Amino acid sequence: MDYYVYEYLRTDNTPYYIGKGRKNRAFTKQGHTVPLPSKDRIRFIAENLSADDAKNLEIELISKYGRKDIGTGILRNMTDGGEGSPGRIATAEQKRKMKEARAKQITTEETREKMRQAHTGRVHSEKTLDKMSKSASVRWANTTDDTIRIQKIKEARAKQDMTQRIVKCPHCEKQGGHRNMARYHFDNCKFNTN
């Protein structure tokens, strides 16, 4: 019951966009295809709605005012409303398309530096730290079998003789442990002329 329906108003107080959301949705540019108006031109039509009630009201209002893109009215909405329902599960085709779109995105070094700067010196509140701690404890609680398996591997390795023989490559004279040297030396050595 924390959803609401809102509208963005033109200077003549006619709506140009109808949306549904919760928390800070009406005041953020992210996810909107229309320009964000000043706060005094954002009006809440209904509040404290369930997700379904908000979706239905949004559809009803978009239908009432009509859409500019299809020539039925004054709104700049690009759909009839109701999309983005909470709990929606993407199809395999939708997931594939999203993956391809992400693969095409290029993050420049300048952008990476800005992101790094934004997070440098960030201090989490006690509440956030508590949530992170609880989340991590749940994750670790689910890995009990993995923890036992890893412990058994560690115990088995502790019993093994881990000493290495030092060997010397006849082609380049490099010395090292017999396990690692075989990969790049002896028959595989770049100085091997045979």
* pLDDT over threshold 60, residue 173: yes
| Structure token pair of residue 46 | 């209904």
- Phi, psi dihedral angles at 166 (to 5 degrees): -90, 130
**DSSP-assigned beta bridge partners for residue 176:** 167
Residue 93's CB is within 10 A of a number of other CB atoms, namely 8
Higher pLDDT among residues 84 and 43, named by residue: 43
Summarised one tens digit per residue, pLDDT across range 30-83 is 878 888 999 999 999 999 999 889 999 999 999 999 988 888 999 998 888 877
Closest CA to 171 of 138, 194, 145, 148: 194
Q: What is the mean pLDDT of residues 154-177?
A: 81
Summarised one tens digit per residue, pLDDT across range 91-130 is 788 888 888 888 888 888 898 899 888 888 888 889 988 8
* pLDDT over threshold 90, residue 84: no
Instruction: Give me the residue label for tokens 């239905």.
Output: 56
At 9, is the pLDDT very low, low, confident or very high (cuts 50, 70, 90)?
Answer: very high
Per-residue CA distances from 39 to 9, 47, 76 (Å): 10, 17, 18
Q: What is the mean pLDDT of residues 168-178?
A: 87
Residue 184 confidence (pLDDT):
82
Query: How far, in Å, CA of 173 to CA of 157, rounded?
Result: 31
**DSSP-assigned beta bridge partners for residue 177:** 166
At 161, is the pLDDT very low, low, confident or very high (cuts 50, 70, 90)?
Answer: low
Residue 142 confidence (pLDDT):
59
Higher pLDDT among residues 117 and 86, named by residue: 117
* pLDDT over threshold 70, residue 139: no
